[in-house]
Amino acid sequence: MNNTNYWAHVDLKKIPNIVVTPPGPQSKQWHDRCTKYFKGLSSQVKLFPVTFESGHGCVLKDVDGNEYIDFSSGIYVTTLGHCHPKVTEAVQKAAAQMMNIHDFTTPIKTKLVEKLAQILPGDLTGFQFYDSGTTAVEAGQRVMRAATKQHEMISCFNDYHGKTYGGVSLGHIRSKVYGPARMPGAHMVPRPDVYRPMWTKPDGTIDTDKYIEFYEEYLDKGTCGQVAGFVLEPIQGWGGSVMPPDDFFPKLRKLCDKHKILLMIDEVLTSMSRTGKWLCMEHWGVVPDIVTLGKGFGNGFPVTCVAVREPHKESFEAISASSSYGGNPMACAAALACIEAIEEEQLNERSAHLGEIALKRMLRMKAEHKIVGDVRAKGCLMGIELVKDKATKEPLDLAGKMVYQKAFAKGLAWIPAGHILRMSPPVVMEDEVLMKGLDMIDEAIGETEKELGY
């Protein structure tokens, strides 16, 4: 696949191109003007306050003329690269025709729901659209309560489900702003982490059955017996690209069926080619009862979706499901164009390929560097875990910040997460560009090790 046809004005052989030490003077000037008023920045920006001007494909350009390889995709959003021509054209056409008609039917919305019913696994055939991931998660919870007539929710340690009160109650975020307690009926349990297992077999490998046995016990003794369902990320994004063992979700599906509770999977981050499938859950052959789609669903346009299985889709009628911006013509046009582009350009296969070659390169890093404890990749969702000692696995947060900043200065725009380095390059990236980005990370890790005395 040759993506340079899309981004003909970008010479990938000259990327990255750092002409002024970043953040440069123009970046600093714009950043200072903006942050006089704009507050609440992410750690990405606080650690490297560059001001971006444009983006095409896998390349970002700042106001000082520096060009970077994009390993963030706007925090897992621009899966098809910046300004994908098919998506751009679709949004422009829709914006010139009609912008919002609330939840009335439109031809473009009809085409989108028909397409979703075609590509999603199993009988996920009921849909409603929203404008943010956390709004979709809230709606998904309401659907579960309506479908089961129960109210309790079980989620997992270190999951992330958004920043509204209901989303925060399911996740790891702690803030006094949300009140002194989680929402009533919100429970959290551990989930399998292959690198940091809570329960292991005699041979030292993770024991997934012990997690399921604990869930059984918790359902009986830790809840009020009114559990609507489990809510999980298939792969933890904010938690550090943490992959589950392959037998976990099939076993959790059986547990949910046994207790007649629903399985809701938050695929806002992992869907639409990010891991090489339409849904990440397809890797394990599991169909959720409810699933949320987002981020790459519109490639940057704010559009998300709640999809439910056939027996539960009438529950939308009971929850006042519509929203002001959900399913507007521009949003539907962006989402449909993304799906069509993934099909036409075989981007699920492309994502899987990039993940395979990235993992091989990262395994070399693990073998060559003392502070690299673990590496993982599924499609274009990747992570590198930095530790003080490979035997103790003690996190090395300082190294995470140092590697992030050093690689960014070399021309890699990406994502920090404490001691875990997160990567989500666009799935349209060329192999050689991906390798360049990983080489920069490799160099930054080596420089960090020297400075820290390893």
- State the pLDDT at residue 204: 92
- State the pLDDT at residue 1: 42
Please state the domain extents for the chain. 85-344, 347-427+438-448
- State the pLDDT at residue 3: 47
Return all residues near 283 (Cβ < 8 A) that are at least 6 apart: 234, 246, 275, 276, 277, 378
- State the pLDDT at residue 4: 45
Kindly state the percentage of the chain with pLDDT values over 90: 91
CATH classification of 85-344, choosing from 3.40.50.1110, 3.40.640.10, 3.20.20.370, 3.40.720.10? 3.40.640.10
- State the pLDDT at residue 283: 98
Contact 144, 262 (CB under 8 A): yes
- State the pLDDT at residue 11: 81
- State the pLDDT at residue 175: 64
Centre a 10 Å sphere on the Cβ of residue 245 and count the other Cβ atoms it contains.
17
- State the pLDDT at residue 315: 95
- State the pLDDT at residue 180: 65
Quick one: CA torsion of 154, 157, 163, 167, rounded to 10 degrees?
-10
- State the pLDDT at residue 179: 64
Where the chain has pLDDT below 70, the residues are 1-9, 174-181
For 347-427+438-448, CATH gives 3.90.1150.10
